[in-house]
């Protein structure tokens, strides 16, 4: 541990010594402004795809800081962590390293809506993120504050009125140039802190806000529409002064489930996990809130706060007379503090103490730091493309709380996607977007850019129409393999980056054989491949192509690391093989019936039922089938839970896939011009009806491209029109 600390201190000081003036000579592919959850993922993703990247943040020691609750994941948010991990982001692995209490929320429901969640050790989380970022090749991190953007005339060939070409630092520290800039200033953009009647400028307690120049530039120079939102945090309590015997004990899952697909275990051993405690507010809490309202400027403002993570003041005012839950959560393995989730408050500190002591378990509590509120500017996200670039500014990307979201997971997921696209833009590759049907990241970005926000946006599983396909367990299969496809055009990208191009040799691949034949011998007739062309054909077998090429491809070129890629391939193959095996076994054999009777299943209606169908029965597990037919299923036991989930959801997912394909096939279907969308007898939200009524699209394809019209709405519309035709 000492070695780690010394290394970190050395690294931090060497990073600080890189000043803006040192890097000002250099033109970067990507500059990321802000080292919060969005900024760290953006910088890491841009770097992974090969862009030379500079991360500028106000304080290097706060990189990876958890501004509010020391926890990660939950229902909807856990899905985002898994997707960030599937694309090789940092957050899931950091959670596995820093977690001290792991649990899967929503277990009583189907696995599609399970919510992987962990309480974290704050220090460890920061340590992991910093150690990863500060050791990345092609990534420079400097401490400093960006005052303004450098804006130039737009490239007439591309959409947008302006073009960003770099950033200007505060205190005359110079200008730094880049092809793309990602702004991730979180709660710092024109941030103000609130406690009692006191208001002061700040983005987080003890940290100054982002310079006014940046807000001014976004609003006045670029003409972007900005809004204002607020959030708050509870006081931190001294652990020794909490009476845990008066609260309910909540233990973690006995076997912690890692967030990351590449981790088999969490860093914290099962037996070392810490408990949480649950307690409730009393009528005394409500009294203090009401008495203190006139001394609480934050709560008197009209600015919208997070509806799903409200302050105790908002909870009491909205639901008077109710008991509200308060979770007492550990802040870390060795921390002497407790985080009271549910008690975010902004009244004066002496009243905060009075309020807390109205709760039995906190009757003698002492506060280390009082709660406070923050208000900040955000950019209305309908001004962004789905790849998170500002529509009117070429090369400018926004991610995180600046786009009106709340939460670490929402910020990280946007950061990763903005980083990928900022990197691609810098490398002259076309931007990419993720659809609602393939990921929660796609759902969130589509919600933001097509509907905008009126209050801080957070993720829920109910936002995703295709949530049975977008499960936490299969994020790797949905995204990791796609992530690898992002890196096509590898040599074009490498040339843009001034990296030497790469070639494949005759000894390692048929691709190498073919290119060598073409460029060294030329052609006299159309060239086609034969095995006889390859001198080393016994080594160049189809069965070992992954071993020959995948590792090389991903180590040298990829954003998704070789380790992750091959692991995703291994899992994908294992699952496919297991499903084929399940489908090929049928219950017609008397041996099946006999064995099933042995494990207590005697009622099987059909005489012919496949292993896969059998698994769709709630009470049948894959382990059970493997105990009956070890010779067939034992090799796949490590995937038991995933196989069960796949088997249960497959019919539904296949159905959805067919519906998506149907939408694609029926793109040109004409929509009747006199259709009355407002009273159509199908399940459409009022919002979708209004959009359709206003736009009156000619075809189904045109309807799919309307902002706010979801794939589920399109399916209802398609079914209706097909039926009435």
Q: Which residues bind ligand FAD (CB under 6 A)?
A: 33-39, 56-59, 62, 67-68, 145-146, 184-188, 203-204, 210-211, 214, 231-233, 306, 309, 344, 374, 400-401, 406-408, 411
- Least distance to ligand FAD, CB of residue 692, Å: 33
- Least distance to ligand FAD, CB of residue 96, Å: 20
Query: Cα–Cα distance between 349 and 197 in angstroms, integer?
Result: 11
List, in sequence order, every residue forming a beta bridge with 237; answer none if it has no partner. 338, 367
Structure tokens at 152: 């130039």
Which CB atom, from 116 or from 697, has the smaller least distance to ligand FAD? 116
Q: What is the 3-state secondary structure (H, E, C) of 368-423?
A: EECCEEEEEEEECHHHECCCCEECCEECEEECCHHHCECCHHHHHHHHHHHHHHHH
Query: Which ranges in 195-348 belong to alpha helices (H)?
Result: 212-216, 283-292, 297-300, 312-318
Residue 253: exposure state from Cβ atoms within 10 A (0-12, 13-18, ≥19): middle
List, in sequence order, every residue forming a beta bridge with 280; answer none if it has no partner. 325
Which CB atom, from 94 or from 620, has the smaller least distance to ligand FAD? 94
Which CB atom, from 210 or from 509, has the smaller least distance to ligand FAD? 210
- Least distance to ligand FAD, CB of residue 303, Å: 14
Which CB atom, from 145 or from 461, has the smaller least distance to ligand FAD? 145
Alpha-carbon distances, residue 258 vs 91, 100, 504, 645 (angstroms): 12, 11, 37, 17
Query: Cα–Cα distance between 13 and 7 in angstroms, integer?
Result: 10
Strand 367-369 to strand 393-394: parallel, antiparallel, or no bridges (unpaired)?
A: unpaired
- Least distance to ligand FAD, CB of residue 50, Å: 23
Query: Which ranges in 399-509 belong to alpha helices (H)?
Result: 408-426, 440-451, 475, 481-485, 490-496
- Least distance to ligand FAD, CB of residue 375, Å: 10
- Least distance to ligand FAD, CB of residue 337, Å: 16
- Least distance to ligand FAD, CB of residue 552, Å: 34
Looking at residue 304, the DSSP 8-state letter turns out to be: B
Which CB atom, from 31 or from 626, has the smaller least distance to ligand FAD? 31
Query: Nearest-CA neighbor of 80 among 440, 563, 582?
Result: 440
Which CB atom, from 51 or from 68, has the smaller least distance to ligand FAD? 68
Strand 162-169 to strand 393-394: parallel, antiparallel, or no bridges (unpaired)?
A: parallel
Which CB atom, from 68 or from 560, has the smaller least distance to ligand FAD? 68
Q: Is the distance from CB of 38 to CB of 407 less than 8 angstroms?
A: no
- Least distance to ligand FAD, CB of residue 104, Å: 20
- Least distance to ligand FAD, CB of residue 414, Å: 8
Beta strands in 197-351 (DSSP E): 198-201, 226-233, 236-238, 248-250, 276-280, 325-330, 337-341
Which CB atom, from 70 or from 400, has the smaller least distance to ligand FAD? 400
Which CB atom, from 207 or from 666, has the smaller least distance to ligand FAD? 207
Structure tokens at 236: 């931190």
Which CB atom, from 97 or from 188, has the smaller least distance to ligand FAD? 188
- Least distance to ligand FAD, CB of residue 349, Å: 15
Looking at residue 65, the DSSP 8-state letter turns out to be: -
Alpha-carbon distances, residue 281 vs 278, 306, 325 (angstroms): 11, 20, 7
Query: Cα–Cα distance between 189 and 203 in angstroms, integer?
Result: 7
- Least distance to ligand FAD, CB of residue 75, Å: 13
- Least distance to ligand FAD, CB of residue 428, Å: 27
Q: Is the distance from CB of 263 to CB of 314 less than 8 angstroms?
A: no
Which CB atom, from 95 or from 558, has the smaller least distance to ligand FAD? 95
Which CB atom, from 111 or from 166, has the smaller least distance to ligand FAD? 166
Residue 108: exposure state from Cβ atoms within 10 A (0-12, 13-18, ≥19): exposed
Query: Cα–Cα distance between 101 and 503 in angstroms, integer?
Result: 48
- Least distance to ligand FAD, CB of residue 406, Å: 4
* Other Cβ atoms within 10 Å of 576 Cβ, number: 12
Which CB atom, from 103 or from 401, has the smaller least distance to ligand FAD? 401
């Amino acid at each position: 541990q000492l070695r780690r600390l010394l290394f970190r201190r050395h690294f931090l000081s060497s990073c600080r010594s890189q000043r803006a003036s040192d890097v000002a000579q250099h033109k970067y592919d990507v500059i990321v402004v802000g080292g919060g959850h969005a900024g760290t993922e953006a910088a890491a993703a841009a770097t992974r795809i090969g862009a030379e990247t500079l991360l500028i943040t106000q304080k290097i020691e706060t990189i990876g800081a958890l501004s509010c609750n020391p926890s990660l994941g939950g229902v909807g948010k856990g899905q985002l962590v898994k997707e960030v991990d599937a694309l090789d982001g940092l957050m899931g692995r950091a959670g596995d390293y820093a977690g001290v209490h792991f649990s899967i929320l929503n277990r009583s429901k189907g696995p599609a809506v399970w919510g992987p969640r962990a309480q974290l050790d704050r220090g460890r989380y920061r340590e992991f993120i910093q150690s990863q970022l500060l050791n990345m090749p092609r990534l420079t991190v400097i401490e400093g504050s960006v005052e303004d953007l450098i804006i130039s005339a737009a490239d007439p060939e591309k959409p947008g009125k302006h073009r960003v070409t770099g950033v200007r630092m505060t205190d005359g520290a110079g200008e730094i140039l880049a092809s793309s800039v990602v702004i991730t200033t979180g709660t710092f953009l024109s941030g103000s802190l609130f406690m009692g009647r006191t208001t002061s400028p700040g983005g987080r307690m003890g940290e100054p806000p982002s310079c006014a120049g940046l807000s001014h530039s976004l609003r006045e120079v670029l003409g972007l529409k900005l809004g204002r939102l607020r959030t708050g945090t509870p006081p931190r309590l001294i652990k020794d002064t909490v009476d845990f015997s008066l609260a309910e004990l909540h233990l973690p899952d006995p076997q912690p489930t890692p967030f990351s697909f590449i981790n088999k275990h969490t860093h914290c051993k099962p037996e070392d996990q810490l408990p949480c405690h649950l307690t409730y507010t009393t009528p005394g809490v409500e009294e203090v809130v009401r008495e203190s309202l006139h001394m609480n400027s934050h709560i008197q403002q009209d600015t919208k706060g997070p509806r799903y993570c409200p302050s105790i003041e908002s909870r009491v005012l909205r639901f008077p007379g109710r008991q509200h839950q308060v979770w007492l959560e550990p802040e870390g393995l060795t921390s002497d503090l407790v985080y009271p989730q549910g008690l975010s408050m902004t009244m004066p500190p002496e009243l905060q103490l009075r309020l807390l002591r109205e709760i039995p378990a906190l009757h003698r509590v002492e506060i280390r730091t009082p709660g406070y509120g923050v208000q900040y500017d955000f950019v209305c996200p309908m001004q962004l493309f789905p790849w998170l670039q500002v529509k009117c500014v070429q090369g400018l990307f926004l991610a995180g709380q600046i786009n009106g979201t709340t939460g670490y997971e929402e910020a990280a997921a946007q950061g990763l996607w903005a980083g990928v696209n900022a990197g691609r833009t810098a490398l002259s590759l076309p931007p990419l977007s993720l659809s609602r049907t393939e990921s929660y990241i796609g759902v969130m970005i589509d919600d933001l850019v097509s509907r905008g926000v009126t209050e801080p946006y957070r993720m829920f599983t109910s936002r995703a129409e295709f949530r049975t396909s977008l499960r936490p367990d299969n994020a790797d299969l949905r995204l990791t393999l796609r992530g690898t496809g992002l890196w096509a055009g590898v040599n074009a990208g490498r040339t843009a980056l001034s990296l030497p191009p790469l070639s494949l040799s005759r000894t390692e691949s048929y691709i190498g054989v073919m290119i060598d034949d073409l460029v060294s011998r030329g052609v006299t007739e159309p060239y086609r491949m034969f095995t006889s062309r390859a001198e080393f054909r016994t080594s160049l077998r189809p069965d070992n192509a992954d071993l020959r090429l995948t590792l090389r491809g991903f180590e040298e070129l990829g954003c998704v690391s070789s380790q992750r890629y091959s692991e995703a391939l291994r899992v994908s193959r294992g699952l496919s093989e297991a499903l084929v095996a399940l489908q090929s076994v049928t219950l017609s054999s008397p041996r099946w019936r006999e064995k099933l009777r042995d494990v207590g299943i005697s009622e099987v209606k059909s005489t012919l039922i496949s292993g896969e169908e059998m698994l769709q029965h709630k009470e049948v597990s894959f382990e059970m089938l493997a105990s009956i037919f070890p010779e067939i299923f034992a090799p796949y036991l490590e995937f038991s839970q995933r196989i069960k989930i796949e088997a249960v959801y497959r019919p539904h997912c296949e159905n959805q896939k067919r519906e998506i394909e149907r939408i694609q096939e029926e793109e040109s279907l004409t929509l009747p011009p006199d259709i009355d969308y407002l009273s159509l007898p199908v399940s459409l939200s009022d919002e979708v009806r209004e959009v359709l009524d206003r736009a009156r699209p000619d075809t189904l394809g045109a309807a799919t491209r309307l902002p706010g019209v979801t794939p589920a709405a399109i399916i209802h519309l398609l079914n209706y029109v097909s039926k009435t035709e």
